[in-house]
Amino acid sequence: MADRQLRRGLRGGDRTSLFGRSVVAEGLRQNPWADLYHTAMVLTWPRFLGALAVLFLALNFIFAGALWLGRDSVANARPGSFSDLFFFSVETISTTGYGDMHPQTFYGHSVVTLEIFVSLISTAGMTGLIFARFSRPRARLIFARHPVVIEHDGVETLALRIVNERDSFISEATAKLWWLGPFETAEGRRYTGFRPMPLLKSENPAFALSWTLFHPIDAASPLYGKSMQAIQNDDVNLVLSIAGLDDTSSQTVHARHVYKAQDLRWGHEFVDMFRRDEDGAAHVDLSKVHETRVVRA
């Protein structure tokens, strides 16, 4: 995705990417520990699994250290062997319990009791987070890299193409397109904000394979009367969002893509992805989703 969710900076500000723009958010404090669920959900899978591994090892080192402080607190552990205590902790926190080592003192039983309590909480938390990440509904859509500006039904029109990667339908799919760029009020104040860009046939009862969206560049369009150079100078972005009901999971799915002004191709059209063979069977070559060609004069 071209866009990232804005993460507010700590103290001096943190640089991030928001709708393709470099943004430094300052003046707000954010503690990732105060919203662990959100932090866990936005991490990439490698970082998420790495964080769980670090947490697991840290807990076992802490409890192995606690057992180390007790004298002969674990039966059959070699005297002075921290590794035996560490692996005993691993067996305890994972509820494996091979049976060759066990607590034999009141102190050892106390530490193990606390470790089992922590194990119950941490295992439930890890399981819940992993399930939440796997069960989160996602649409698998491919957005054509370059919107094109062509003449459609006698009107200059912005066209965008999307492909559904899954074999299932997205029912009652809706599409919304927004202009994100600068504008000036009657008082002469300059702001950057969103403006709606109405689409022709913005609803699709059964989105499968591909979907081409059209925005007429008429007097109500933010693109009306603007040249390619002008919108590039204004650092304009186009934000396209898709929502619908996935027939397989029966859950609402969302997808969003951001186009920069430099992505637009004026005077181009999309290459046709459909063809029929000699037997009359229809074929769709979805690998051509990004291909465009110059419109012949």
The pLDDT, as a whole number, for residue 185 is 82
At 172 the pLDDT is 94
As a whole number, mean pLDDT of residues 17-34 equals 65
Rounded alpha-carbon distances, angstroms, from residue 231 to 180, 221, 225, 238: 11, 13, 10, 11
Average pLDDT, whole number, for the chain?
Answer: 87
Between 25-29, 76-80, 211-215, 240-244, the lowest mean confidence (pLDDT) is in 25-29
In a domain, 173, yes or no: yes
- The answer to the question of residue 190 being in a domain is yes
Q: Does 226 fall in a domain?
A: yes
Over residues 33-39, the mean pLDDT reads: 80
102 and 147 both lie in a single domain? no
- Domain termination residue (choose one: 135, 158, 192): 135
My answer on whether 125 and 108 are in the same domain is: yes
Q: Are residues 194 and 275 in the same domain?
A: yes
Amino acid at 143: F
* Among 11-15, 178-182, 249-253, the least confident range: 11-15
Asked, for residue 170, whether it belongs to a domain, the answer is yes
Give the model's pLDDT for residue 191: 85
pLDDT bucket at 135, cuts 50 / 70 / 90: confident
Pair (93, 147) in one structural domain: no
Domain co-membership, 229 together with 280:
yes
Instruction: Provide the pLDDT for residue 284.
Output: 86
CA angle, 68 then 69 then 74, to 5°: 50
Work out how many domains the chain is built from and give that number.
Answer: 2
> Do 262 and 148 share a structural domain?
yes
Indicate the burial class of 51 (C-beta count within 10 angstroms; 0-12, 13-18, 19 or more): middle
Q: Same domain, yes or no, for 286 and 154?
A: yes
pLDDT tens, 204-220? 999 988 999 999 999 99
Residues 155 and 248 in one domain: yes
- Which of 20-24, 184-188, 208-212 is least confident? 20-24
Q: Does residue 129 carry a pLDDT above 90?
A: yes
* Residue-number span of the structural domain to which 78 is assigned: 31-135
Is 160 domain-assigned?
Answer: yes
pLDDT band at 291 (very low <50, low <70, confident <90, very high): very high
75, 101, 135 — which closes off a domain? 135
Q: Dihedral of the CA atoms 248, 131, 6, 19 (nearest 10)?
A: -30
Q: What angle (nearest 5°) sits at the alpha carbon of residue 114, between those of residues 72 and 74? A: 15
pLDDT, tens only, 40-79: 898 999 999 999 999 999 999 999 999 999 989 999 999 9
Residues 116 and 152 in one domain: no
Domain match, 163 and 275 both: yes
Q: Are residues 131 and 179 in the same domain?
A: no
Closest CA to 146 of 295, 268, 20: 268
67 lies in a domain?
yes
Q: What is the pLDDT of residue 277?
A: 85
Per-residue pLDDT tens over the stretch 79-128: 999 999 999 999 999 988 898 999 999 999 999 999 999 999 999 999 99
Chain Cα centroid distance, residue 94: 31
Judgement on whether residues 117 and 225 belong to the same structural domain of the protein: no
Residue 20 lies in a domain: no
Which CATH number covers residue 221?
Answer: 2.60.40.1400
Domain boundary among 135, 170, 188: 135
Q: Which residues pair with 284 in a beta bridge?
A: 274
CB 163 within 8 A of CB 225: no
Residue 14 located in a structural domain: no
